[in-house]
Amino acid sequence: MSTPPSDAEVVARILGGDVEAFGLLVDRYQSIFAPYAAQVTGSADDAADVIQESFVRAYRFLSRCDNPANFKAWLFRIVSNQCKSHMSRGWRRKTVPVDDIATLPAPDDPARDVAAGDLQDRVQRVLQQLPPDQREVLVLKYVQDLSLIEIADVLRVSVPALKMRLLRARTALRRKLQGVMV
């Protein structure tokens, strides 16, 4: 049984003119980045837009990937930047407004939160309330499960700076969740 080609091999084929080989990279990575993009942008719809734009950009600028063996980190960087651009354009889709059912309580209403009994629901909502750069490091570390070095590489920051950002993000997360409880 042959092993699948490495990212470096696939990139070389694409740069050699084999455009269909790009499909291998799409298959490998589109689902991997989907949770990250969905959480940073706030919706799976926006995630799909971001992923589409990221892959197309990756193709266009593939010759600029200086370390094809670490294509994933390079692509991740593109996705991260696309998330930022996407949000700075102010396109954040909201869930469907339910206009003919009684008004829902505001998200931070403790009565509703206790009644909801859904930790994931609360954590997801609180995540969306955090500043994007804090949300991003929490998702990269705790959902995507990247190492500190990998995250630092993606975000182009030093590891100490990253640790500081993570600490602030965890503190903010805890405070917001506490606010829900009080």
Partner 1 sequence: MTDREPDALSRYLDGEATRAELPAALREEADAFDRIRAAMDPGPVKLPPGLRATIMARVRAAHASPWRRAWRWVTTPTVRVSPLTGTLAFAALAALILWARPQSSRLRERPVETTGHIVARFVYRAPTASSVVVTGEFARWDPSGVAMRRVDGGTWVAEIELTPGLHHYAFVVDGKRWVIDPNATSQVDDGFGQQNSVLLIPNTD
Partner 2 sequence: MTMTRAWTLILTAVVALPAMAQERGRFEGRLDSQMLGALRPILAQAAGDSLPTGALEDKALEGAAKGVPAARIIAAVRQLAGELRDARGLLRDGRPAARIPDAEVIAAAETRRRGVPAQEIAALARGASQHPLVVPLTVLGDLVQRGVPADYARTVLEQLLADGLPPDRMAEIPGRVDVALRVGAAPADALRSALRGGGREMPHGPPPGGGRGPAAGRPIQPPPDPPKGGKPPSSGRPHGNSS
User: Does the footprint of partner 1 cover residue 49 (CB under 8 A)?
Assistant: yes
User: Does the footprint of partner 1 cover residue 86 (CB under 8 A)?
Assistant: no
Instruction: Decide: residue 80, CB within 10 A, 0-12 exposed, 13-18 middle, 19+ buried.
Output: buried
User: Does the footprint of partner 1 cover residue 175 (CB under 8 A)?
Assistant: yes
Binder of residue 167, out of partner 1, partner 2, none (CB less than 5 to 8 A by kind): partner 1
Give 50's contacts (C-beta < 8 A, 6+ positions apart): 37, 41, 79, 82, 83, 86
Q: Which two tokens stand for residue 48?
A: 């799909």
Q: What residues numbered 6-45 form the site for partner 1, per CB under 8 A?
A: 17, 19-20, 22-23, 26-27, 30-31, 34-35, 37-39, 44-45
The residues binding partner 2 (CB under 8 A) are 38, 42-45, 93, 95-96, 98-101, 104, 113-114, 116-122, 174, 177-178, 180-181
At 151, is the secondary structure helix, strand, or coil? Answer: helix
User: Does the footprint of partner 1 cover residue 177 (CB under 8 A)?
Assistant: yes
Q: At what angle do helices 71-88 and 44-60 cross, to 10 degrees?
A: 130
Nearest to 63 by CA among 119, 11, 134, 7: 11
Q: How far is the CB of 40 from partner 2 (least distance, A)?
A: 13
Q: Which two tokens stand for residue 174?
A: 């805890």
* CA–CA separation, 82 and 84 (whole Å): 5
Q: How far is the CB of 36 from partner 1 (least distance, A)?
A: 9
Binder of residue 71, out of partner 1, partner 2, none (CB less than 5 to 8 A by kind): none
Q: CA 149, 39, 112: angle at the middle one, nearest 5?
A: 130
Q: How far is the CB of 172 from partner 2 (least distance, A)?
A: 13
Q: Which residue from 5, 6, 59, 114 is in contact with partner 1, where contact means CB under 8 A?
A: 59
Q: Whose Cβ is closer to partner 1: residue 73's or residue 177's?
A: 177
